[in-house]
Structure 1
Amino acid sequence: MREKDSEGHLTDEQIAALFLDAAREGDLNTIKQFIEAGMEVDAADSRGHTALIVATYKNRYDAAALLLRHGAKVDAEDRKGATALSGVAFKGHERVARLLLEHGAKIDHQNHLGRTPLMFALMFERHDIVKLLLEHGADLDLKDVDGVCARDLAHSRAELTRTDERQCRSGTDRT
């Protein structure tokens, strides 16, 4: 049970947590009630997770679509700089990834370590997501803080057939 404030009411943080829980569970009715009551659609928890981030991570397509229809920021970042598309690429939820891309998700967004959704998809062998991101123009040559690019990851996992380009192309370093 959540503790209440001195007047017996839930705190703003607790209310936001309930909203995020509804998104995490895909509870459309509760999400709608929160929004209709004036809940900030991009309210975040202490880790920076928004309702959209948790809904997409849990593969709650309908909840994500509802949140996006109500103005959720598709590229809202958590405290590590990750967006919903980053989490979806890691988890491999292709249908949700398509939804995010349809709503303008930045395909090459780099988190605080410089990792992109394509890098996550490659690292966790989410082949359908890799294909989808490449079809949408994901950059194979953006480097993370360790100087590794998606092209390097692809070669190490045999995702690409060209073996003559082992290194990231120069000129795309964002440092």
Structure 2
Amino acid sequence: MLGLLVALYTGAASADPRTQLRELFFDAAREGDQPRLATFIEAHYDLNIQDEKGYTGLILAAYHGQQAAVEQLLHAGANPCVQDNHGNTALMGAIFKGELSIAHRLVNADCNADQRNHAGQTAAMYAALFHRQDILQALKAKGADLDAKDDLGNDVQGLAQGQFRPTPSR
């Protein structure tokens, strides 16, 4: 089934089929192509596979505002807690992009409310920085630590007030 998808998509079998499948999967997630995602799901494709930046299909769908694809991937078992190469999650990406309905859905996923990226930042810090008060309140209700500090000493209250300690210059 997936081989047919690759053949139809590319018209050639010269490239590595696994690479082609990954690209097809990521394109489907990014574009919100539910029929194509359904093919991957039916074939038991690894929904948590990551690209060179660590993005999963769920991260891409969330970042690109593909609400229906996010729901489809979550329902099929995609892990919402997976982190990209910077430690960011689908929730952090949705908050950053202002995809609030997706962010609300991901807040309700079974992930640690205080999951941190590689800079020590949490989703609550993202919500505060980008003035997503409703998401911040949802994270607080889930038990997020609003007093946590990132690696530079930034916290939710300071970020909400526009106080951001940048990375020190070297």
- TM class by shorter-chain length? 0.7 to 0.9
Aligned to 2:147: 141
Aligned to 1:47: 53
Aligned to 1:71: 77
1:10-159 correspondence to structure 2 within 5 Å? 10-154=16-160, 156-157=161-162
Letter of the 2:38 partner, please give it.
K
The structure with the greater share of residues assigned to helix is 2
Note the C-alpha offset of 1:132.
Answer: 2.5
Q: How many residues align?
A: 155
User: What TM-score does the superposition give when structure 2 sets the normalisation length?
Assistant: 0.81
CA separation of 1:133 and 1:120: change in aligned 2, threshold 3 A: same
Q: Is the 8 A contact 1:57 1:87 kept in 2?
A: yes
Note the C-alpha offset of 1:126.
Answer: 2.3
| C-alpha separation in 1, matches of 2:153 and 2:15 | 50
RMSD: 2.2
Letter of the 2:125 partner, please give it.
M
User: What TM-score does the superposition give when structure 1 sets the normalisation length?
Assistant: 0.79
Letter of the 2:74 partner, please give it.
L
- Structure 2: stretches of 5+ with no match in the other structure: 1-8, 164-170
Aligned-pair identity in percent equals: 38
Note the C-alpha offset of 1:8.
Answer: 2.5
Note the C-alpha offset of 1:157.
Answer: 4.0
| C-alpha separation in 2, matches of 1:142 and 1:17 | 37
Question: Per-residue CA shift, 1:133-155, capped at 9, x if unaligned?
Answer: 2233321111111111112223x
